[in-house]
Structure 1
Amino acid sequence: MINIIRQQQTLSPAVRWILGIAFTFFIALLGYYLAMVPGFTLTGQLASAIFISILYRQIAGYPEWLRAGITFSSKKLLRFAIILYGIKLNVSLILQDGLPILLLGAVVIAFALLASVWLSKAMNANRSITLLVGAGTGICGAAAIAAVAPIVEAKEEDTAIGVGIIALFGTIFSVGYTIIRPFLPLTASEYGIWSGISLHEVAHVALAAAPGGETALAMGLLAKLGRVFLLVPVCFLFMYIVKRKSTGSKQHIPFPWFLIGFILMSLAGTYILGPVIPFSDTAMTAVTEITTWCLTAAMVGLGLSVSLKDLKNKALKPMIIITIVSLTLSILTFVIVKWFY
């Protein structure tokens, strides 16, 4: 053990930085394979990798000698993944065909955030985690949490816990949707809209809507992308609120430049890549894969900062809150979709 420690100390900072990044991708790879194991197939690569990284931290401790590379993954790669995520957003489609759904999406986001904040105060829950979970529930899961966290200056541990909660509950709800779908008085289009407007992640929407057929899947993804479209204005609203609260103090709120990258990538994906510059489905799949791996590696970096000693006290109440908010959201959106669509 002593020899291993000495060898670590002799490595240059650049080598340790590279090894730290490689370490996060290695655990991301383990998460990829774990997601193929029965029982984990519905949780997905990202959630599986977070579980592995949290378990590693509890058993082996935080690998301090790799901190620089791990921090790079959890911060820089995270922003890079959000920028690439923008290419999935078809701005033209939303503006042309999804404006009513976009309005409903705004209502969903407002409800999820306000209800989460109110319940957090009422139950004296961890406000940071609850706010992040509320953003993930209302907007687009882990990507929303990753975007909001640096703006509200959330701790890395809180961010990782929030992502884990969203992954768990999103999976539970999406599976529940598929089970009750045959008994619902909804058309394929209505079921798709309901799934897209109420579920947490894009992957969860795809999982729940696909059994309803192509129409349900298409409408589900359109409804979900409408909420993704609102990620940027919501983040700027958070930035405004945080700045107002910090007025008179020396606190500096860094401008979220990665959101500008998200917008530019969305516009490029809609109006340039394809219409002007040839961009095949294969290329789009490659970008999606890169986004997934970078986001997973970033989540591993966050997961390594989680200590299970405080997890029960910090996560229990936010989990109760997301249960209440998600159930209420599902019921309300079901009624709205049934009677207005």
Structure 2
Amino acid sequence: MKKYASGVLLCLIISAPAWFLGKAFPVIGGPVFAILIGMAMAPFVKGKDFLRPGVTFTSKKILQYAVIVLGFSMNLATVVQKGREALPIILATITTSLVIAFILSRALKLPGKTSILIGVGSSICGGSAIAATAPVIDADDSEIAQSISVIFFFNIIAALLFPALGSALGLSNEGFGLFAGTAINDTSSVTAAASAWDGMHGSNTLEAATIVKLTRTLAIIPITLFLACYRTGKEKKASERSISIQKVFPTFVLFFLLASIITTVFPIPVSIVSSLKDLSKLFIIMAMGAIGTNTDLIKLIRTGKKPLLLGFCCWLGISVVSLVLQVILGIW
């Protein structure tokens, strides 16, 4: 504990202003502020060896703990019951994003891990999906920071643009709930967009959009398990050493599933669930702060054009597919 204390405390200090800034500007969110604050502090942290173990622990292990705690907010029965109507659109948008990410990563010659994180973050649930995927594919801090930055950039645009776009397209309340829940990545941005829509139309789409978003979050489980198997096979081909699935198996994802089952079987009071969701958010913000301290801002900007293009294409593809399927299914 002594080895980790200083670095973890630093990340906690970074998370405090990031948390309150995220509350004040939910369309941006605490994780983005944490990365920015962490990057601003990077020159002061560099070379401080006594901080490094705790910072690494926060960026790796506490990031995993955030995913586990998130499971307690996932009542599987409620999500499946209310989210099954949106399932065809959810599956189509996830597939669209992953296919676009795969094709463009080859065309743009982007690093594979960055492409995976952007594809998964765009298709599933932004920061939470990146938090779950990064340890499985062994992504480094700069790849995580770049992916988070790209995802949240388009989240901000979507949260600001989608309510007006939905009105211009003549979407119903149900249609906009599906649109926001499937085409916006982060929960805070989904909430911001749905709240703006409700304010404009006097409706109650916030709950529906949130349920769709939580249904998407469950895709973390099959995606991370698939990536673990894929990485194992790839490393076996590239090395003569025996690489076992146990070495890269995302055990924390099983704990995420277990937490969801516990919440489903033994209903937890709303106040406790709310506190656990806040704890998960705090852990993610702490981890993003740690990642920020390890991120080279100049390099991030210099190499950011291709990831931004990839993120835009994933975001555009998801949005178009969500709207087209609503027309086909008669929801619009």
In the superposition, the TM-score normalised over structure 1's length comes to 0.88
Root-mean-square deviation (Å): 1.9
Equivalent pairs counted in the alignment come to 321
Match of 1:123 among 108, 112, 122: 108
What aligned pairs does 1:176-195 form with structure 2 within 5 A after superposition? 176-195=161-180
Identical residues among aligned pairs (%): 24
Counterpart residue number, 2:263:
269
Deviation at 1:58, TM superposition (A): 4.4
Query: Which residue of the other structure, out of 10, 21, 29, is the alignment partner of 1:23?
Result: 10
- 1:239 aligned to 2:228? yes
In the alignment, structure 2 segments of 5+ residues that lack a partner are none
Check whether the contact 1:62–1:305 (CA below 8 A) recurs between aligned residues.
no
Instruction: Give the aligned residue type for 1:261.
Output: F
Could you tell me how far 1:34 is from its partner in structure 2? 3.5
Tell me which residue corresponds to 2:316: 327
Equivalent of 1:96, from 51, 62, 81? 81
Residues 292-307 of structure 1 mapped to structure 2, 5 A cutoff:
292-307=281-296
Among 57, 65, 73, the alignment partner of 1:72 is 57
What is residue 325 of structure 2 aligned with on the other side?
336
User: Matched residues in 2 for 1:36 and 1:223: separation?
Assistant: 22
Letter in structure 1 aligned against 2:308: M
Which shows bigger deviation, 61-70 or 78-87?
61-70
CA contact (8 A) 1:98 1:223 kept: yes
2 CA distance for matches of 1:164 and 1:212?
25
What does residue range 39-50 of structure 1 map to in structure 2 within 5 Å? Answer: 40-50=25-35
Task: Give the CA deviation at 1:16.
Answer: 4.9
Alpha-carbon distance in structure 2 between the residues aligned to 1:179 and 1:54: 34
The corresponding residue for 1:226 is: 215
Encode CA deviations 1:285-321: one digit per residue, 9 max, x unaligned. 2111111111111111111111123213432201111
**Post-superposition offset of 1:104:** 2.3
* Contact 2:105 2:112 (C-alpha < 8 Å) held by counterparts: yes
AA in 1 matched with 2:249: F
- Find the residue that maps to 2:69 and give its secondary structure: helix
- Say which SS state the counterpart of residue 160 (structure 1) adopts: helix
CA distance in 1, matches of 2:227, 2:85: 24
State the distance in 2 between where 1:152 and 1:47 align. Answer: 22
Alpha-carbon displacement from aligned partner over 1:102-129 (angstroms, at most 9, x marks no partner) = 2321221121111012111111223221
Gaps of 5+ in 1: 1-13
- Report the CA distance shift for 1:145/1:16 in structure 2 as closer, same or farther (over 3 A): same
C-alpha distance after superposition, 1:165-198 (max 9, x if no partner): 2122211111111232332211101110111011
Residue 96 of structure 2 corresponds to residue 107 of structure 1: no
Q: Secondary structure at the match of 1:215?
A: coil
Q: What is the Cα deviation at residue 261 of structure 1?
A: 0.7
* Contact kept? 2:228, 2:248, Cα under 8 Å: no
Q: Please tell me the residue identity of whatever aligns with 2:156.
A: T
- Equivalent pair of 1:198/1:329 in contact (CA under 8 Å): yes
Moved runs in structure 1, 4+ residues, more than 6 A? Answer: none
Contact 2:19/2:285 (<8 A) preserved:
no
Counterpart code for 1:74: S
In structure 1, distance between residues paired with 2:295 and 2:84 = 40
Change (3 A) 1:62 1:105: farther
Deviation at 1:60, TM superposition (A): 5.5
Structure 1 CA distance for aligned equivalents of residues 129 and 139 of structure 2: 13
Deviations 1:123-179 (Å, cap 9, x if unpaired)?
122322121011000001011111111111211221122112212221111111123
TM superposition shift of 1:64:
2.7
Q: Who is 1:4 aligned against? A: none
| Cα 1:94/1:71, change in 2 over 3 Å | same
Query: What's the TM-score, normalizing by structure 2?
Result: 0.90
| Structure 1 contact 189–215 (Cα < 8 Å) conserved | no
Q: Deviations over 1:214-262 (max 9, x none)?
A: 5321221121111111110111111121122222532454221100110
Distance, in Å, in 2 between the alignment partners of 1:166 and 1:137 is 6
